[in-house]
A and B are shown apart, each in its own frame.
Chain A
Amino acid sequence: MSNKLRRYHAAVWDEPIIMEMGVAGRRGCHFPVEEYASLDELVPGSMRRNSPLALPEMSEPDVLRHYLHLSQETLGMMGISLFGTCTMKYNPRMTEELAAQSWIADTHPQQDTSTLQGSLEVIYRLKEQLCELSGMDEYSFQPAGGADAAYTHACITRAYHSARGELKQRDQIITSIQAHPCNPATAAAAGFEVVTLMLEENGYPSVDALKAAVSERTAALMINNPDDMGIYNPHIKEWVNIVHEAGGLCFYDHANFNGVMSKIRARELGFDACMFMLHKTFGVGKGGGGPAVGAYGCTNELAQFLPGPVVRKVGDRFELDDDLPLGIGRVREYMGNVQQLVKAYAWTRAMGADGIAAASDISVLANNYMEKELLKIRGVTRSHPDIDAWRMEMTRFSLGQMFEDTGVTVLDVQNRMVDFGIDAFWLSHEPWVVTQPFTPEAGEMWSKEDLDYWVAVLRQISDEAYSNPGYVKAAPHNHPVQKLAPDSLDEPDRWAMTWRAHLRKSALRRKAG
């Protein structure tokens, strides 16, 4: 496999902070000026702004060019992004364009439903498709991300046990150390005590550990499968039975759905609820972290506890049903990130059943193909080397050997890879199971040539690490700024979350000498 490394250099604009730009008096937009009453009559004196607003004064083209420059200083998916656990995939531009039009962009969520039939039908049809993909009966699209869907499940767990008079008693939610941090975090934020199961030699907690953890206090299990090491827990059905027998609910965090789409369904495994991330698996853009959708699916038994409003089909019309007396109310205002639902629905239609099955095939094939090539590189190992099975759509690798040999860390390598136009890889959620972890996810969007290139870059950096580690540790070399100084930003006099705080604190530091 030969792969010529490309020359790449990021755009460098030395763009000032906007707070330092502009010239007094310049305008970036106008509004009509009208006066029907004196402002003094309209605004109580105690509430009038009487201090100047220290925003930049810029003309419209200068604002445009400033943010265009900043966009060019953002690598993201312009190169190759195999950011594991986030399933980087193509975001079809046709649906971006459709969703940006007035028929979605300029709708208010509380319009009369007769004027929102298009949105509601799209949402209803999307629900039907997700029901087929998961086996669930009903969906809520209100959760504004995967973590919010986990939170929704924790809230529904409260409502379910409350309706049975057992909420006081059932105060624990069980998860595993490999579950995404949002599972334990949202369980705790909903008021539950978290029980975390540790991994055993097979790469997942044992059935015995689960049996020991369940009790009359168990409210729910929140778990993903496969995990982001690419290991599938084959006992998951038994897990669900154990938790059900103890009286708890089972929630399937489908963060890693890409590798199992069309292969398994949460419902047949016994789960009561599941979650799909439409901004990952269903082709919706990441936007640097949202707007996102954690589509929360559940059985008919749990549907009565869903947050409202839920889209219903009544004859050939679509209505919003907010009459859910046992429902949890809201986890967020209104019915969800509607424009993202339009894109997700269009993605399922563009793919169809065969396309979705092929995407899962390709993502697992691509991961194993990459794994084989990556493990040939000096200093690269994988987690659980003794588990001989093909991994799913991700593998957890380690640069621990390289670090021991050369002192080059996984963060150094990440910083060097961007020099070749390759977006940061994902390391691992806390806590790290292997040292110096990294987790690429090939997915179905990236071509074999892209994957080969990614591997070739890592091979090049491995060579550099073993021959000239200082050069890798000094990376990046082809970006507008160097890597961060090891300063702690956790001290009140160091952090500055706004420009005004920065000015104040740096003046104080100068004064202190």
Chain B
Amino acid sequence: MTKARPHPFMPNSVPATQQEMMGALGIDSIEPLFSQIPADHRLKRPLDLPEALSSESELRRHMSGLLSKNRSCTDALSFLGGGCWQHHVPAVCDEIVRRSEFLTPVWGTPSSDLGRNQAWFEFTSQLGELIDLDLVALPVYSWGCAAGHAIRMAARISGRNTVLLPRFLDPERAAVINTYCEPEQMSSHIAIREFGIDLETGLVDLDELSSLLDENVAAVYFENPSFLGQIESQAEEIAAASRKAGAETIVGVDPVSLGILRPPGQYGADIVVGSIQPLGIHMNGGGGLGGFIASRDEARYAHEYPALMMSIAETVNGEMSFAMALMHQSSYGSREEGKDWTGNSVYLWAIAAATYMALLGPAGFRELGELIIQRANYCASVLTEISGVQVRPARGFFKEFVVNFDETGKRVSDINKALLQSDIYGGLDLSRRFPELGQSALYCVTEMHSIQDLDRLTDVLREVCR
């Protein structure tokens, strides 16, 4: 047993300091301070926790021992995407989000935390340019949550209670959206109807979509590129059909595609959602997620946002500052009468994303988009040279694409196990959730994959599929 020492995290754990404070209160032990809690509420024993590791050196060793059991996507070669993607994170982004000023604060005042507010405003302003829309809110937890909120916004705007979703949607996002739409026993339930795609082209089946568009439909949600990776060339037609039926068009986008792809604000999107994780944020095992909600800058949309909205504002001296707009409609302002809810979100990541967008600029986004689409297509073309391996569709995707293994006679799960032996994380297995796609996997290729990496995948897959 070592003698109890003041804890490094707690300056007032020095006994003399506590005595001094207790002296000021006229007590000689701490126990009376807890007299509000009835005795029969109190835990009668000390907590049974592992022995403290209060020395940093010891704790670091313990933590490193645990974490070294992970094998990250930089240790191996990964083709996983779906809802979390391995992109390059510039060192400047890491430096900025680890600054103590940004890492630790809470609310502040508009003057004292001006810098953080400005960084947030620069996040929304730059993202607004990428998607070509004027109203962008501070981020919510994730893309799935952003889509869920957007669908609920559309239901409130229209007074309708059905949403049309793509049948092929990331199961993680789809499950979140399903939760947000509520079970059918609830009076505010939003019914989900699914529309399919033409499996040859990967594009939305417009006939099926049209047949579902009736007077109950609050919104049509589609993604561009789609979950399966395809660039939806009929985006304008989908938005037009949706508008004609009196429904809102909600588009989910990958912001890193927008250096080369047409922004959703230009093809009729009313509300746009997506992930900010690709914008300079590490995957963090899913802890890098963040979602955004944006729309046309009209009161009918603005008045339904659950997220915080940082507006440019003026000080009493006419200087530029920033403040929350429409705070009264948030749950902070209106409790259960507010729009859904808000709270802590992923605001630190907004600063990472602002830094990222500023580093890339227009030329960086174009170069990145071109590089990704080139390498993804290169990968698809070399994979199709393997006997029995097909990419479906063979073209028209951005960074993810469907690799089908039916003709190899092997299951994706077995193929991925074999790839793992060579330190390769194969694409996301689609076969369980989407049996109609056969033994297919969703491969993700980004700027992180060199041509040598893609050739190595091809060589190993050729052996595995033999």
Q: Which of A114, A335, A424, A497 has most chain B Cβ within 10 Å?
A: A497
Question: Do A144 and B141 have beta carbons less than 8 Å apart?
Answer: yes
Answer whether A105 and B283 are a contact pair too, CB < 8 Å, given A330-B175, A424-B112: yes
Question: Do B38 and A104 have beta carbons less than 8 Å apart?
Answer: no
Taken together as a complex, chains A and B put the C-alpha atoms of A47 and B238 apart, in Å, by: 13
Taken together as a complex, chains A and B put the C-alpha atoms of A122 and B68 apart, in Å, by: 11
Q: Which residues of A contact B311 (CB under 8 A)?
A: 489, 494-497
Question: Do A328 and B63 have beta carbons less than 8 Å apart?
Answer: no
Q: Which of B72, B121, B182, B288 has most chain A Cβ within 10 Å?
A: B72
B76 an interface residue at 8 Å Cβ cutoff? yes
Question: Do A119 and B310 have beta carbons less than 8 Å apart?
Answer: no
Contact partner of A181 (CB less than 8 A), chosen from B20, B331, B395, is: B331
Stretch at the interface among B21-29, B243-251, B404-412, B457-465: B21-29
A285 an interface residue at 8 Å Cβ cutoff? yes
Answer whether A78 and B100 are a contact pair too, CB < 8 Å, given A98-B64, A346-B63: yes
A446 an interface residue at 8 Å Cβ cutoff? yes
Question: Do B112 and A146 have beta carbons less than 8 Å apart?
Answer: no
What are 14 A-B residue pairs whose CB atoms fall within 8 Å in the complex? A15-B118, A29-B90, A29-B360, A31-B364, A39-B373, A49-B366, A110-B82, A148-B343, A187-B336, A236-B41, A260-B37, A288-B113, A361-B33, A500-B125
Taken together as a complex, chains A and B put the C-alpha atoms of A278 and B57 apart, in Å, by: 23
Answer whether A48 and B260 are a contact pair too, CB < 8 Å, given A91-B103, A105-B282, A290-B348: yes
> In A65-95, which residues have CB < 8 Å from any B CB?
66-78, 81, 83, 86, 88-92, 94-95
Stretch at the interface among A401-409, A432-440, A476-484: A476-484
Answer whether A331 and B176 are a contact pair too, CB < 8 Å, given A49-B260, A103-B72, A181-B338: yes
Question: Do A181 and B76 have beta carbons less than 8 Å apart?
Answer: no
- Name the residue of chain A whose CB is nearest to the CB of B297: A501
A415 an interface residue at 8 Å Cβ cutoff? yes
Q: Which residues of B contact A389 (CB under 8 A)?
A: 35-36
Taken together as a complex, chains A and B put the C-alpha atoms of A191 and B135 apart, in Å, by: 28
- Name the residue of chain B whose CB is nearest to the CB of A42: B373
A234 an interface residue at 8 Å Cβ cutoff? yes
Q: Write out, one digit per residue, whether chain A residues 32-67 have a CB within 8 A of any chain B CB (1) or not (0).
A: 111111010111101111111111111010011011
Question: Do B395 and A103 have beta carbons less than 8 Å apart?
Answer: no
Q: Which residues of B contact A28 (CB under 8 A)?
A: 358-361, 364
Question: Do A185 and B42 have beta carbons less than 8 Å apart?
Answer: no
Taken together as a complex, chains A and B put the C-alpha atoms of A132 and B116 apart, in Å, by: 37
Contact partner of B420 (CB less than 8 A), chosen from A114, A330, A490, is: A114
Taken together as a complex, chains A and B put the C-alpha atoms of A186 and B180 apart, in Å, by: 11
Q: Write out, one digit per residue, whether chain A residues 151-194 have a CB within 8 A of any chain B CB (1) or not (0).
A: 10001001000100001100100000000011011111111001
Taken together as a complex, chains A and B put the C-alpha atoms of A154 and B262 apart, in Å, by: 39
Stretch at the interface among A207-215, A296-304, A350-358, A458-466: A350-358
Q: Which residues of A contact B69 (CB under 8 A)?
A: 117-118, 121
A342 an interface residue at 8 Å Cβ cutoff? yes
Taken together as a complex, chains A and B put the C-alpha atoms of A171 and B188 apart, in Å, by: 12
Q: Using a Cβ–Cβ cut-off of 8 Å, how many residues does chain B contribute to the interface with A?
A: 217
B56 an interface residue at 8 Å Cβ cutoff? yes
Question: Do A362 and B134 have beta carbons less than 8 Å apart?
Answer: no
Q: Which residues of B contact A105 (CB under 8 A)?
A: 72, 89, 282-284, 288
- Name the residue of chain B whose CB is nearest to the CB of A19: B125
Answer whether A53 and B366 are a contact pair too, CB < 8 Å, given A112-B416, A117-B70, A350-B52: yes
Q: Which residues of A contact B363 (CB under 8 A)?
A: 27, 57
Contact partner of A333 (CB less than 8 A), chosen from B109, B172, B451, is: B172
Answer whether A74 and B368 are a contact pair too, CB < 8 Å, given A115-B76, A353-B48, A497-B309: no
With A182-B343, A392-B36, A497-B309 given, name 16 new contacts (CB 8 A). Answer: A19-B122, A29-B364, A46-B234, A49-B260, A58-B359, A67-B96, A75-B113, A147-B331, A147-B341, A185-B341, A186-B331, A236-B41, A264-B41, A390-B35, A497-B135, A497-B136
Question: Do A108 and B43 have beta carbons less than 8 Å apart?
Answer: no
Contact partner of A481 (CB less than 8 A), chosen from B68, B111, B290, B451, is: B111
Answer whether A328 and B336 are a contact pair too, CB < 8 Å, given A34-B371, A109-B285: no
Question: Do A415 and B109 have beta carbons less than 8 Å apart?
Answer: yes
Instruction: Return A140 CB to nearest CB of chain B, in Å.
Output: 13
Answer whether A108 and B283 are a contact pair too, CB < 8 Å, given A158-B186, A484-B110: yes
Q: Using a Cβ–Cβ cut-off of 8 Å, how many residues does chain A contribute to the interface with B?
A: 217
- Name the residue of chain B whose CB is nearest to the CB of A112: B420
Taken together as a complex, chains A and B put the C-alpha atoms of A457 and B339 apart, in Å, by: 38
Taken together as a complex, chains A and B put the C-alpha atoms of A494 and B128 apart, in Å, by: 18
Q: Write out, one digit per residue, whether chain B residues 313-343 have a CB within 8 A of any chain A CB (1) or not (0).
A: 1111111110111101001111111101111
Answer whether A122 and B66 are a contact pair too, CB < 8 Å, given A17-B122, A288-B106: yes
Question: Do B340 and A106 have beta carbons less than 8 Å apart?
Answer: no
B168 an interface residue at 8 Å Cβ cutoff? no
Question: Do B286 and A424 have beta carbons less than 8 Å apart?
Answer: no
Question: Do B10 and A77 have beta carbons less than 8 Å apart?
Answer: no
Instruction: Return B93 CB to nearest CB of chain A, in Å.
Output: 9
Contact partner of B284 (CB less than 8 A), chosen from A90, A337, A391, A476, is: A337
A375 an interface residue at 8 Å Cβ cutoff? no
Instruction: Return A31 CB to nearest CB of chain B, in Å.
Output: 4
Question: Do A349 and B326 have beta carbons less than 8 Å apart?
Answer: no
B7 an interface residue at 8 Å Cβ cutoff? yes
Question: Do A95 and B63 have beta carbons less than 8 Å apart?
Answer: yes
Q: Which residues of A contact B310 (CB under 8 A)?
A: 497
Contact partner of B67 (CB less than 8 A), chosen from A57, A104, A268, A390, is: A104
Question: Do A18 and B126 have beta carbons less than 8 Å apart?
Answer: yes
B92 an interface residue at 8 Å Cβ cutoff? yes
B75 an interface residue at 8 Å Cβ cutoff? yes
Question: Do A350 and B53 have beta carbons less than 8 Å apart?
Answer: yes
Taken together as a complex, chains A and B put the C-alpha atoms of A188 and B363 apart, in Å, by: 45
Taken together as a complex, chains A and B put the C-alpha atoms of A99 and B121 apart, in Å, by: 27
Question: Do B373 and A43 have beta carbons less than 8 Å apart?
Answer: yes
Contact partner of A106 (CB less than 8 A), chosen from B60, B72, B97, B263, is: B72
A247 an interface residue at 8 Å Cβ cutoff? no
A385 an interface residue at 8 Å Cβ cutoff? no
Question: Do B176 and A17 have beta carbons less than 8 Å apart?
Answer: no
Q: Write out, one digit per residue, whether chain B residues 131-175 have a CB within 8 A of any chain A CB (1) or not (0).
A: 011111100011111000000100000000000000000101101
Q: Which residues of B contact A314 (CB under 8 A)?
A: none
Question: Do B67 and A33 have beta carbons less than 8 Å apart?
Answer: no
Taken together as a complex, chains A and B put the C-alpha atoms of A199 and B166 apart, in Å, by: 48
Taken together as a complex, chains A and B put the C-alpha atoms of A194 and B337 apart, in Å, by: 10
Question: Do B232 and A47 have beta carbons less than 8 Å apart?
Answer: yes
A447 an interface residue at 8 Å Cβ cutoff? yes
- Name the residue of chain B whose CB is nearest to the CB of A327: B175
